Chains A and B, each alone.
Chain A
Amino acid sequence: MSDSELGRKWDRCLADAVVKIGTGFGLGLVFSLTFFKRRMWPLAFGSGMGLGMAYSNCQHDFQAPYLLHGKYVKEQEQ
Chain B
Amino acid sequence: GSPEAPQLNTLLKLALTIVPSQGLAGKLGGCRDSDSRRPLRLTRDYASQRPLRRRNRKFLIKGSVAGGAVYLVYDQELLGPSDKSQAVLQKAEEVVPTAVYQFSQYVCEQTGLKIPQLPAPPKFNFHIRESWNSGIITVMSALSVAPSKAWEYSKEGWEYLKERTK
Could you tell me which A residues sit within 8 Å of B by CB distance? 3, 7, 11-13, 15-16, 18-20, 23-24, 26-27, 30-31, 34-35, 50, 53-54, 57-58, 61, 69-72
Inter-chain contacts of A20 with B (CB < 8 A): 78-79, 85
B55 to chain A, nearest CB (A): 13
Q: How many residues of chain B get a CB closer than 8 Å to chain A's CBs?
A: 19
Could you tell me which B residues sit within 8 Å of A by CB distance? 62-63, 65-66, 69-70, 73, 78-79, 81-83, 85-89, 129, 133
Inter-chain contacts of A7 with B (CB < 8 A): 129, 133
Measured in the bound complex, the distance between the Cα atoms of B63 and A50 in whole Å is 22
A20 to chain B, nearest CB (A): 6
Which residue among A19, A31, A35, A70 has the maximum number of chain B CB atoms within 10 Å of its CB?
A19
A16 adjacent to B73 (CB under 8 Å): no
For B81, give its contact among A13, A18, A26, A57 (CB under 8 Å): A57
Instruction: Name the residue of chain A whose CB is nearest to the CB of B62.
Output: A34
A55 to chain B, nearest CB (A): 11
Q: How many A-B residue pairs have CB under 8 A?
A: 53
Inter-chain contacts of B85 with A (CB < 8 A): 15-16, 19-20
Inter-chain contacts of B82 with A (CB < 8 A): 12-13, 15-16, 54, 57-58, 61
Measured in the bound complex, the distance between the Cα atoms of B86 and A16 in whole Å is 6
Which residue among B69, B70, B79 has the maximum number of chain A CB atoms within 10 Å of its CB?
B79
B73 adjacent to A69 (CB under 8 Å): no
Inter-chain contacts of A30 with B (CB < 8 A): 65-66, 69
Pick 13 A–B contacts, CB within 8 A, sort by A.
A12-B82, A16-B85, A19-B85, A19-B88, A20-B79, A20-B85, A23-B78, A23-B79, A26-B69, A27-B69, A30-B66, A34-B65, A70-B83
